[in-house]
Amino acid sequence: MKPFFAAGEEGWSGSITLPDLPTPVFGVVCWTQDKKLGFRFSSPLTLDMLARVLGCC
């Protein structure tokens, strides 16, 4: 499956869904540039979940 990128604007809320996580992780877009964006998590993450989001596991 190819990654999907939906362009957003600062302040938009959204979620990240990854196969390894039991539920979507919610947050807000804090910056955008080209096809990249910064995502501020609004739901608490355990260290294990953070490692999975960052691709460390």
Each domain of the chain, given as residue ranges in start order, spans 13-53
In order, the DSSP letters of the chain are ---------TT-EEEE--TTSSS-EEEEEEEEETTEEEEEE-S---HHHHHHHTT--
Q: Over 80: is that where the pLDDT of 23 sits?
A: yes
> In the prediction, which pLDDT does 7 show?
57
pLDDT confidence of 53, banded at 50, 70, 90?
confident
The rounded mean pLDDT for the chain is 79
pLDDT at position 51 is 86
Cα gap 4→14, rounded to integer Å:
13
Query: Which of 56, 57, 48, 45 minimizes the C-alpha distance to 16?
Result: 45
Tokens of 22: 């039991």
- The pTM of the full predicted model, rounded to 2 decimals, is 0.61
Please check the confidence at residue 3 and state whether its pLDDT lies above 70: no
